[in-house]
Homo-oligomer: A and B are copies of this chain.
Amino acid sequence: MPTNAPQLVVRCLMMSIDGFAAGLNQRLEQPFGDATEGFTDWMFETPSGRKMLGIEGGAEDADNTDDPYVAHSFDNVGAVILGRNMFTASRGPWTDDGWTGWWGDNPPYHAPTFVLTHHERESIPMEGGTTFHFATAGIDDALARAFAAADGKDVRLIGGAETVRQYLAAELVDTLHVVMVPMLIGRGERIFPESAPPPGYRCTEHIATPNVVHLRFERR
């Protein structure tokens, strides 16, 4: 792929040391599921994370070494892909429940956002440039639509774990940035597909900060 070709990127994907992006029993009150207390603390300690999540106040910490990863996580991103389970806690056919995601009227994506689902639904325009489109024809089709919508920019795959696993197994992800949170979750959703041989990625960077370890992978 030429150097400046648009890429499919994963950034700031959180993983426990034992390999889980989420525990069992993900639910509205505990979106990451069981045994994930403290999993997102590192993000709440970054000024950019607080800003992105709409959290007022909290001491500014210009020295937070995780902040640049969060601050730059949407750089050159022209479209976004989400798994259904990241959009909602509901499953199965869409109901008329008025749900438009976890993020309020102005979601943090600010770009066309493709939600993978088996069930058709009309697109939902939101404030701030986000429009949710529902992609029912599989991961390749969703990626093609996202690249078209990104108009020369990159596509960011946000998650969840199952969606990332599918794109990694198909080796469609160009670069992957994992934030390894130093804790154990025990059981749940893994990021990396169990496959022999492993998917063709090499880890090109491993950097510890006070709270986490940043791991960067590139496709071979």
B-binding residues in A (CB < 8 A) = 17-19, 23-24, 34-35, 178, 180, 182-187, 192-199, 201-203, 206-208, 212-213, 215
Contacts and interface: CB of A to CB of B under 8 A. Distances in A.
Given A18-B198, A183-B202, 19 more contacts: A17-B203, A18-B19, A24-B196, A182-B215, A184-B192, A184-B198, A184-B199, A184-B201, A185-B198, A186-B193, A186-B194, A186-B199, A187-B194, A187-B195, A206-B208, A206-B212, A206-B213, A208-B213, A213-B213
A116 to B, nearest CB: 23
A125 to B, nearest CB: 39
Tally of this chain's copies: 2
Contacts of A187: 194-196, 198
Interface of A is mostly: loop
A186 B196 contact: yes
A22 to B, nearest CB: 12
A17 B215 contact: yes
A106 to B, nearest CB: 35
A23 B198 CA distance: 10
A34 B213 CA distance: 26
Nearest to A194: B187
Contacts of A18: 19, 192, 198
A196 B23 contact: yes
B196 A183 contact: no
A208 B187 CA distance: 26
A35 B196 CA distance: 8
